[in-house]
């Protein structure tokens, strides 16, 4: 069994304020990265318990380079670094299941801890084929391009609800915290979260029927919106065209292009 894990930072156990996730190298950010490695280790252990013989972990937060090498699990491979050539790094090698670890709800989600889509500062929002999507759907679409189903998602309560909304009830949602606001919530201890993540990974990978790979009709019609005209004016589109004061539109021939506005 081959498992591909995509990670983010905002939904990791013990993370609840943007100071932990935005500026690399601060004491709070270093602690958040250590918390990330703890969640990853627990997930890899659960995948191994379920019989995985290859586990690849993608560093998906803020352009990458968040992993701490000395804390890497020896039974997994890690994709990290910056200046990435394309979406879906390594996915073309073929995997049986995908897992999203440490994810967060899309921009505008009530009581979603650290909710945003792509940039937590710019405040942009994304629609694909008329449906607003966050990073859960974006990552699942990229995996779906290769026929890989997302079987498990970890984050807060709102993250798990969003995952079920997009990916179906069969996806396993592991909540490690509950949001009371954008930077406030009720958190479980990392040790509690690690045990839950390990057990739920074993359960998710051991199911007889995985959820379907998440796909959309092609070509995909994408819309990107900024919260105000000033932020939209500062955007330099690569392939999209402007449709009004705050919005841009683009057509994507495959799911691998969905970030390329």
Q: How many helices (H) and strands (E) does the chain have?
A: 5, 12
Section 1-5 average pLDDT: 98
pLDDT value, residue 117 = 98
Q: Are 190 and 13 in contact (CB under 8 A)?
A: yes
Percentage of the chain lying above the pLDDT 70 cut: 100
Whether the per-residue pLDDT at 83 is higher than 90: the answer is: no
Whether the per-residue pLDDT at 63 is higher than 90: the answer is: no
Section 251-257 average pLDDT: 98
Q: What is the pLDDT of residues 121-130, one digit of tens each?
A: 999 999 999 9
- Angstrom CA distances, 54 to 5, 8, 51, 93, 98, stand at 11, 20, 9, 11, 12
pLDDT value, residue 86 = 87
Per-residue confidence band for 55, with pLDDT thresholds at 50, 70 and 90 = very high
Cα–Cα dist 42/40, whole Å: 5
Cα atoms in the 13 Å half-sphere on the side-chain side of 5: 32
Cα atoms in the 13 Å half-sphere on the side-chain side of 254: 10
The residue among 166, 25, 45, 30 whose CA lies nearest residue 103 is: 166
Q: What is the pLDDT of residues 144-193, one digit of tens each?
A: 999 999 999 999 999 999 999 999 999 999 999 999 999 999 999 999 99
- Angstrom CA distances, 182 to 16, 72, 116, 156, stand at 8, 30, 9, 11
Q: Which of 118-146 are b and which e, b meaning 16 or more Cβ less than 10 Å from the residue's Cβ?
A: bebeebbbbebeeeebbbbbbbbbbbbbb
Provide the token pair at 172. 């396993």
Which residues on adjacent β-strands are paired with residue 53?
A: none
pTM above 0.85, yes or no: yes
- Angstrom CA distances, 172 to 29, 53, 156, 212, stand at 28, 21, 13, 13
What single-letter DSSP state applies at residue 145? H
In the β-sheet with 247-252, what is the strand arrangement from edge to edge? 131-133, 125-128, 220-225, 247-252, 241-242
Distance of CA 123 to the CA centre of its chain: 17
Domain range annotation of the chain:
2-107+134-214
Q: Are 123 and 231 in contact (CB under 8 A)?
A: yes
**2-107+134-214 CATH fold:** Rossmann fold (3.40.50)
Cα–Cα dist 187/51, whole Å: 30
Provide the token pair at 35. 């918390």
């Amino acid at each position: 069994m081959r498992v591909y894990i995509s990670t983010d930072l905002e939904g990791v156990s013990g993370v609840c304020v943007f100071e932990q996730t935005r500026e690399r190298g601060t004491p709070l950010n270093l602690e958040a990265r250590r918390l990330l490695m703890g969640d990853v280790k627990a997930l890899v252990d659960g995948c191994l318990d379920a019989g995985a013989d290859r586990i690849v972990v993608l560093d998906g937060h803020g352009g990458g380079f968040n992993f701490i090498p000395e804390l890497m699990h020896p039974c997994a491979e890690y994709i990290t670094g910056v200046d990435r050539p394309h979406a879906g790094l390594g996915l073309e090698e073929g995997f049986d299941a995908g897992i999203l670890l440490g994810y967060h709800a899309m921009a505008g989600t009530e009581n979603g801890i650290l909710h945003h889509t792509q940039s937590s500062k710019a405040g942009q929002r994304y629609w694909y084929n008329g449906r607003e999507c966050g990073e859960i759907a974006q990552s699942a679409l990229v995996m779906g391009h290769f026929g890989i189903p997302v079987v498990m998602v970890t984050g807060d309560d709102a993250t798990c609800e969003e995952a079920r909304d997009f990916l179906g009830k069969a996806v396993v949602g592991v909540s490690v915290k509950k949001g009371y606001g954008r930077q406030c919530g009720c958190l479980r201890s990392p040790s509690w979260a690690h045990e839950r993540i390990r057990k739920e990974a074993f359960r998710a990978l051991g199911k007889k029927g995985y959820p379907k790979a998440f796909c959309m009709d092609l070509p995909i019609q994408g819309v990107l919106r900024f919260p105000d005209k000033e932020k939209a004016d500062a955007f330099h589109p690569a392939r999209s065209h402007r449709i009004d004061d705050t919005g841009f539109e683009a057509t994507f021939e495959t799911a691998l292009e969905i970030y390329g506005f």
